């Protein structure tokens, strides 16, 4: 099997490996289209905030286009972020079993080729962003500062998951910026709740690499919490539910949204009860299940927005 066709260790058996033209596979892997879960997790706060903001304003008619644009933007910009992450982490990735088969350390693409691809993705994301109002455009551009510094955080702090939370939760602000043209207390509270959620699920994800990270000196909340991970998850997931619930109250959400939040909370409890930090495969499955948790909350928010508009 040639270098371009060789799959990434933790993403085998997907459409990129089986159907995409061989020349395109390294680039699709750089953008993580072989593993779209991260794009879904980036998308969830965008959809939450759009639905909550639409419920506040009654602007449900705008939602289909906004949700579609957020979908496209999340997949493109997550791809750009992952490409940047792979460029900056190429030496570390080469020393970790799970990541050494990624396109750059595996020699499938050069750093220069990855950089050109990064620019192309960023420009595509900008085209999507320009469909919104000026305030939303500036709000979206502001997130790039956090995205740029995130890959370096694991080298200097035990809490890189906080910075990831700041980046991956930015969509909680974007829905309000797009629909209301402002960021208010409701948006900020939703943002804070999403950050707590991200810290929790990325701690689960980081347990896959805890042993390798310890050997090469990479820091994470998984290593910091260790055997206390279940307690830490209970704290952060509880904080997420309380803060998101506060945002719902500030936004005068009605019963469908609260049912969605309850289903979201039950799913988080299930994750904590199921988690075994010594089982990397289980950690990955539980991490991925957060898309379903986010969709449960979104379904409640969307139903609430539609009901309030009628």
Instruction: Find the CATH number of the domain harbouring 72.
Output: 1.10.357.140
- H-type alpha helices, 207-289: 210-216, 221-225, 229-250, 255-274, 280-288
pLDDT tens digits, residue range 41-98? 999 999 999 999 999 999 899 999 999 999 999 999 999 999 999 999 888 888 877 7
Token reading at 289 = 């299940």
- What contacts 1, CB < 8 A, 6 or more positions away? none
User: Within a domain: residue 234?
Assistant: yes
- 1 in a structural domain: no
Q: What span, in angstroms and rounded, lies between the C-alpha atoms of 221 and 229?
A: 9
Domain carrying residue 29: 22-309
For 97-109, the pLDDT digits (tens) are: 778 888 999 899 9
What's the rounded Cα separation, in Å, for the pair 114 and 109?
7
In the chain, the number of structural domains is 1
What whole-number distance in Å separates Cα of residue 227 and Cα of residue 244? 27
Is 159's pLDDT higher than 60? yes
Question: What's the pTM value of the predicted model, to 2 decimals?
Answer: 0.92
Answer yes or no: is 223 within a domain.
Answer: yes
Average pLDDT, stretch 107-122?
A: 95
Longest dimension (CA), the chain: 58
Backbone angles phi, psi at 13, to 5 degrees: 75, 20
Would residue 5 count as lying in a domain? no
Residue 17 placed within a domain: no
Instruction: Flag whether pLDDT at 12 surpasses 60.
Output: no
Has residue 11 been placed in a domain?
A: no
Lowest average pLDDT, out of 5-14, 83-92, 164-173, 239-248, goes to 5-14
User: Is residue 249 situated within a structural domain?
Assistant: yes
Structural domain includes residue 91: yes
Mean pLDDT for 2-11 is: 53
- Kindly state the average pLDDT of the residues 138-153: 94
């Amino acid at each position: 099997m040639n270098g371009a066709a060789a799959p990434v260790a933790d993403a085998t058996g997907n459409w990129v490996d089986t159907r995409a033209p061989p020349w395109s596979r390294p680039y699709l892997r750089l953008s993580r289209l072989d593993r779209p879960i991260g794009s879904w997790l980036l998308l969830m706060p965008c959809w939450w905030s759009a639905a909550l903001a639409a419920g506040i304003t009654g602007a449900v008619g705008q939602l289909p286009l906004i949700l579609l644009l957020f979908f496209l933007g999340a997949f493109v910009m997550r791809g750009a972020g992952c490409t940047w992450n792979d460029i900056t982490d190429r030496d570390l990735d080469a020393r970790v079993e799970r990541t050494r088969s990624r396109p750059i350390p595996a020699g499938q693409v050069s750093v220069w080729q990855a950089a050109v691809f990064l620019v192309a993705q960023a420009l595509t994301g900008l085209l999507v962003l320009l469909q919104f109002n000026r305030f939303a455009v500036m709000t979206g551009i502001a997130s790039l500062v956090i995205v740029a510094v995130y890959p370096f955080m694991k080298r200097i702090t035990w809490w890189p998951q906080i910075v990831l939370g700041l980046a991956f939760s930015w969509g909680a602000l974007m829905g309000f910026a797009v629909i209301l043209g402002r960021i208010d207390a409701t948006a900020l509270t939703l943002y804070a709740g999403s950050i707590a959620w991200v810290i929790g699920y990325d701690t689960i994800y980081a347990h896959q690499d805890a042993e390798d990270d310890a050997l090469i000196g990479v820091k994470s909340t998984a290593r910091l919490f260790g055997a206390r991970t279940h307690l830490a998850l209970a704290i952060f997931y509880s904080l997420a539910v309380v803060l998101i619930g506060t945002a719902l109250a500030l936004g005068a959400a009605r019963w469908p949204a609260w049912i969605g939040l309850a289903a979201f909370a039950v799913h988080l409890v299930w994750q904590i009860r199921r988690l075994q930090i010594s089982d990397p495969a289980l950690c990955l499955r539980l991490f991925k299940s957060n898309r379903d948790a986010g969709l449960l909350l979104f379904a409640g928010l969307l139903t609430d927005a539609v009901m309030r508009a009628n």
